[in-house]
Amino acid sequence: MAFKKVKSSDRHINQLARIVGGSSSILYRKEDLLAYDCDGFTIHKALPKAVVFPKNTIEVSEVVRYCHEHNLPFLARGAGTGLSGGAIPLNEEVIISMVRMKRLLSVDLENRRAVVEPGFVNLKLTNSISDRGYYYAPDPSSQYCCTIGGNVAENAGGAHCLKYGVTTNHILGLEVVMPNGEVIEIGKNGIPDEPGYDLLGLITGSEGTLGIVTKITVRILKNPEAKQTVLAYFNHVSDGSQAVSDIVSAGIVPAALEMMDKVAIEGVEAAAYPVGHPKDIEAVLLIEVDGISAGIDEQIRQILDVCRNRNVKEVKVARDEAERGRWWANRKTGFGAMGAISPDYLVQDGVIPRSKLPEVLSRINQISNESGLRIANIFHAGDGNLHPLVLFDARKPGETQKALEAGSACLKVCADVGGTITGEHGVGIEKKEEMRFVFSDEEIKAQTDIREVFNPKNLLNAGKLFPAPGRCAEVKKEIKAAASS
């Protein structure tokens, strides 16, 4: 596209436009910014100052340097599918959209790694290498559209993380633009476990508060030789969750072990990818095993036995790839499917010890009754990552607040039974306060101290991940007061 100069009354806009290449690479009119007032977390909305679309690392670095020098708040955004509000501009940020940096830079099958730009869509990586027998393992449900850059920011998980680990286990190297515009490389040669501090681990999952990732070296895996998928229906949640525990205790490590409850089933069956789950059951399990062919049948036999011992109502093995695909599409579109039975939803992301599932579900049920809001549960049962989906209608006065409170109460339950408040969606705006369920003020302070090393001006994605320091300061005062008395 031809370079077209921007003439705004705001000199910052003109300068930013100059850096990224003119009017086709910047949005700054209010009407154009509206589509950027939230991400997948829609409860909180705020307009950015501008959205810029850099094409390469140099442009990202120059934009960041400009913002740093002129004290303009800024943040990075990928596909905006995040569920905790990490890409929402709370402070009238300049949004740096990474979606035009979407190339697959190289594939190195011999060393099982690939280099991508941050705007490259997760599933496209697998699609680009599957004909050669390889794939990229982390598979968040939004993998059809979410970017790998966003996955790094949130340390995204997915259904198959039970066996293969979350994003951080698949990152070999990063190029990062620091909050002052400096460009650094971590894990340069894509060699895992470099000596020194694990900076890759620190950046991965930092929710866009420590730097902006501009190039990512990921691990790719060989397709498993064989794969089998089982669907099991249970009349009681307790039987379903016992079956989950039994499968793991039997020494089987499934690739995925998913559960949905009755309300979730109602949602997915009313939506675009129904597969005919019965309406009268309390729980469905989706179990997948993969690996070398030898032994797969034996594992399936064991899984079927476990299910039968736990009073399974019906259990079946996917007949072919097409059926398997339908089962997974039904599960992976589960969140969006809630739109079919509710105008709005709020998804939570608690982690609990597997054994506590029946107890937690019954307490969530209680929360649902008390709040008068329906709650669906979609659960990465194998690794204890629970997603209660609070269904509400924002048009009804007070209901949004009620939903937030119900969501928070669900997380409290998770924390109380020895779990935590997020497994894979990040803290963002949504769960800032709930950080207090699992961290003391001192522990939070220790973490914001780390942020200060990287992001001393706190211009980059401020107001996310940690609760406001108000109480920390108070605590300090109290400590001082106690010490001086």
Residue ranges that bind other proteins, judged by CB under 8 A: 27, 29, 31-32, 34-36, 38-40, 42-46, 51, 53, 79-81, 97, 99-100, 102, 119, 121, 142, 144-146, 271-273, 333-340, 343-345, 394-395, 397, 400-401, 404-405, 408, 429-434, 463, 467-468
| Nearest residue (CB) to other proteins, 282 versus 405 | 405
The least distance separating other proteins from the CB of residue 320, rounded to whole angstroms, comes to 16
Min separation Cβ 294 and other proteins, Å: 33
Task: Decide whether 102 or 112 has the Cβ nearer to other proteins.
Answer: 102
For 265, other C-beta atoms within 10 Å of its C-beta total: 24
**What is the nearest approach in angstroms of other proteins to the Cβ of residue 110?**
26
Whole-number minimum distance, CB 282 to other proteins, in Å? 23
Closest to other proteins by CB, 34 or 105: 34
Nearer to other proteins, 290 or 434 (CB): 434
- The residue among 44, 136, 140, 56 whose CA lies nearest residue 96 is 56
Q: Which residue has the tokens 């008395």?
A: 485
Nearer to other proteins, 51 or 303 (CB): 51
- Select 254 or 463, whichever has its Cβ closest to other proteins: 463
- Give whichever of 99 and 286 is closer to other proteins, judged by the CB atom: 99
Quote the CA–CA distance of 114 and 109 in Å, as a whole number.
8
Cβ 428 to other proteins shortest distance, Å? 11
Residue 113 or residue 432: which is nearer to other proteins going by CB? Answer: 432
What are 395's two structure tokens? Answer: 């048009």
CB of 87 to other proteins, least distance (A): 11
**Is the Cβ of residue 172 or residue 410 nearer to other proteins in the bound state?**
410
Nearer to other proteins, 1 or 453 (CB): 1
CB 437 → other proteins: shortest distance, Å? 12
Nearest-approach distance from CB 26 to other proteins, in angstroms: 10
Beta carbon of residue 80, minimum distance to other proteins (angstroms, whole number): 6
Amino acid, single-letter form, for residue 406: A
Smallest distance from other proteins to CB 401, Å: 7
